[in-house]
Structure 1
Amino acid sequence: MSIETWRIDTTHSSIGFTVRHMVVARVHGRFSRYEGRLFVNGDDLTGAQAEVKIEAASIDTQLEARDTHLRSPDFFDVAAFKRVIFRSRRVVAVGKDRYQVVGDLTIKDFTREVVLDTEFLGRVTDPFGTERLAFSARTSIDRKDFGLTWNKALETGGVFVGERIDIELDVQVVKAAALEKAA
Structure 2
Amino acid sequence: MSIETWQLDPTHSSIGFIVRHMVVARVHGRFTRYEGRLFTNGDLVKAQAEVKIDASSIDTQVEARDNHLRSQDFFDVAAFPRVIFHSRRVLPAGGDHYRVVGDLTIKDTTREVVLDAEFLGRVKDPFGTERLAFSARTSIERKDFGLTWNKALETGGVLVGERIDIELDVQVVKAVAVEKVA
| CA distance, structure 2, for counterparts of residue 126 and residue 56 of structure 1 | 30
Match of residue 68 from structure 1? 67
| CA distance, structure 2, for counterparts of residue 57 and residue 175 of structure 1 | 28
Q: 1:176: how far off?
A: 1.5
Q: Give the SS at the match of 1:68.
A: helix
| CA distance, structure 2, for counterparts of residue 94 and residue 155 of structure 1 | 44
**TM alignment of 1:5-154, pairs within 5 A:** 5-42=5-42, 44-154=43-153
Question: Cα RMSD between the aligned structures?
Answer: 0.9
Match of residue 160 from structure 1? 159
| CA distance, structure 1, for counterparts of residue 25 and residue 175 of structure 2 | 40
- 1:155-175 CA-partner distances (Å, limit 9, x unpaired): 000000000000000000001
Q: Give the SS at the match of 2:65.
A: helix
For this pair of structures, how many residues does the alignment match?
178
For residue 32 of structure 2, what is the amino acid of its counterpart?
Answer: S
- 1:82-122 CA-partner distances (Å, limit 9, x unpaired): 10000000000010000000000000000000000000000
TM-score, normalisation: structure 2: 0.97
Q: 1:177: how far off?
A: 1.4
| CA distance, structure 1, for counterparts of residue 122 and residue 79 of structure 2 | 39
- Runs (4+) of structure 1 exceeding 6 A deviation are none
TM-score, normalisation: structure 1: 0.96
| CA distance, structure 2, for counterparts of residue 99 and residue 155 of structure 1 | 43
Q: Give the SS at the match of 1:85.
A: strand
Q: Give the SS at the match of 1:132.
A: strand
| CA distance, structure 2, for counterparts of residue 50 and residue 111 of structure 1 | 16
Structure 1 portions without partners, runs of 5+? none
- Structure with the higher fraction of residues in strand conformation: 1
Structure 2 portions without partners, runs of 5+? none
